[in-house]
């Protein structure tokens, strides 16, 4: 059984939490990988001997790299090379489902891929990327996230389909109506290819989302120049998002402490076992990729 080392990939707002030191820990800097440099990696002490490795997807000083330009392969490869077995990824999507509330936590259970042209596999030109995607996310990590959310006073939704769009632009009203018809409840730009890349390197992955806004057309919102999302989110909603983000460090620390206590019983580390058993892949994961 692999050692179970937890990492957290922080989404929008992670840089604010680093800046105000709600999240802090020594920084080992970016990791050099065959796919370029990863985002800087920090070790965050979570109390009671627990710790997580932490990386801020969009940068450490602010929203420096928009979702389509994140080097997802370098980030996932770097975490694997540091011994990480499971990843919690946080993301602040918009709500397509009108019954969701801004600021609410959601632990999704499925994905729709509407990205285009992203580097989405480690296995270019190879025959071993044919991997089942159900369950989409690590069930053990999902249930831990749900328990941690339930212990807060904040509402949490168990299960949702997250459609990942290409960006960096926001979606049109017709696109959101289309995604609603397809069964999506949330729209964001970051979980793909991150989730699929993690599975290619036999790592568990589960997202923790907080609702940032209603997607275009879900609520009547006049255009307002010069404000966040040009008026898509109200002042009250922006405050609720800040509250949800500022509660994340405590939530993640409690997830890290609980993670240390549980018995390893998920199959995430076996995603590539078929190829290893048949001899098409070697036992060392570093030989699996195309570089
Ligand atoms: Zn797992």
> How many A from CA of 90 to the centre of ligand 1?
16
> How many A from CA of 176 to the centre of ligand 1?
31
Q: Measured between alpha carbons, how far is residue 14 from residues 47, 62, 96, 275 in Å?
A: 20, 8, 24, 37
Q: What is the pLDDT of residues 248-267, one digit of tens each?
A: 999 999 999 999 888 768 99
Q: Note whether 35 and 291 are within 8 A (CB).
A: yes
Q: Note whether 38 and 84 are within 8 A (CB).
A: no
> How many A from CA of 140 to the centre of ligand 1?
6
> How many A from CA of 223 to the centre of ligand 1?
43
> How many A from CA of 136 to the centre of ligand 1?
11
Per-residue pLDDT tens digits of the chain, which is 291 residues long: 446 899 999 998 899 899 899 999 999 999 999 999 999 999 999 999 999 999 999 999 889 999 999 999 999 999 999 999 999 999 999 999 999 999 999 999 999 999 999 999 999 998 888 999 999 999 999 999 999 999 988 889 999 999 999 999 999 999 999 999 999 999 999 999 999 999 999 999 999 999 999 999 999 999 999 888 898 999 999 999 999 999 999 999 999 999 988 876 899 999 999 999 999 999 999 999 978
> How many A from CA of 142 to the centre of ligand 1?
9
Other CB atoms within 10 A of residue 247 CB: 18
Identify the residue whose tokens are 């402490």. 257
> How many A from CA of 169 to the centre of ligand 1?
33
Q: What is the CATH number of domain 6-272?
A: 3.40.50.1580
Q: How does DSSP classify residue 216?
A: B
> How many A from CA of 147 to the centre of ligand 1?
16
Q: What is the 3-state secondary structure (H, E, C) of 270-285?
A: HCCHHHHHCCCCCCCH
> How many A from CA of 134 to the centre of ligand 1?
12
> How many A from CA of 269 to the centre of ligand 1?
7
Q: What is the pLDDT of residues 29-53, one digit of tens each?
A: 999 999 999 999 999 999 999 999 9
Q: Note whether 145 and 88 are within 8 A (CB).
A: yes
How big is the chain by its Cα radius of gyration, in Å? 18
Q: How many CA atoms lie within 13 A of 273 on its CB side?
A: 7
Q: What is the pLDDT of residues 169-187, one digit of tens each?
A: 999 999 999 999 999 999 9
> How many A from CA of 173 to the centre of ligand 1?
36
> How many A from CA of 43 to the centre of ligand 1?
21
> How many A from CA of 91 to the centre of ligand 1?
19
> Cis peptide leading into 193, omega within 30 of 0?
yes
């Amino acid at each position: 059984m692999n050692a179970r080392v937890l990492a957290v990939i922080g989404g929008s707002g992670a840089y604010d939490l680093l800046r105000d030191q709600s999240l802090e820990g020594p920084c080992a800097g970016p990791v050099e990988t065959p796919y370029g440099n990863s985002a800087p990696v920090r070790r965050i002490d979570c109390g009671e001997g627990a710790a997580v490795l932490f990386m801020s997807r969009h940068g450490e000083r602010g929203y420096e790299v928009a979702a389509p330009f994140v080097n997802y392969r370098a980030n996932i490869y770097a975490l694997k090379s540091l011994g990480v077995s499971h990843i919690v990824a946080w993301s602040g999507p918009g709500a397509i489902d009108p019954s969701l509330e801004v600021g609410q936590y959601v632990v999704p259970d499925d994905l729709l891929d509407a990205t285009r042209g992203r580097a989405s596999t480690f296995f270019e030109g190879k025959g071993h990327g044919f991997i089942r995607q159900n369950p989409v996310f690590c069930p053990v990590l999902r249930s831990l996230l749900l328990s941690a959310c339930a212990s807060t006073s904040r509402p949490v939704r168990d299960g949702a389909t997250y459609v990942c769009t290409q960006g960096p632009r926001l979606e049109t009203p017709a696109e959101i109506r289309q995604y609603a018809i397809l069964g999506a409840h949330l729209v964001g730009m970051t979980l793909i290819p991150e989730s699929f890349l993690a599975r290619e390197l036999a790592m568990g992955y589960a997202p923790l989302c907080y609702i940032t806004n209603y997607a275009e057309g879900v609520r009547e919102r006049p255009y307002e120049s010069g404000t966040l999302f040009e008026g898509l989110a109200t002042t009250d909603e922006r405050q609720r998002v800040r509250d949800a983000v500022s509660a994340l460090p405590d939530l993640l620390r409690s997830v890290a402490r609980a993670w240390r206590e549980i018995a390893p019983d998920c199959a995430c580390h076996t995603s590539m076992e078929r190829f290893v058993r048949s001899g098409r892949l070697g036992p060392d994961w570093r030989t699996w990729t195309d570089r």
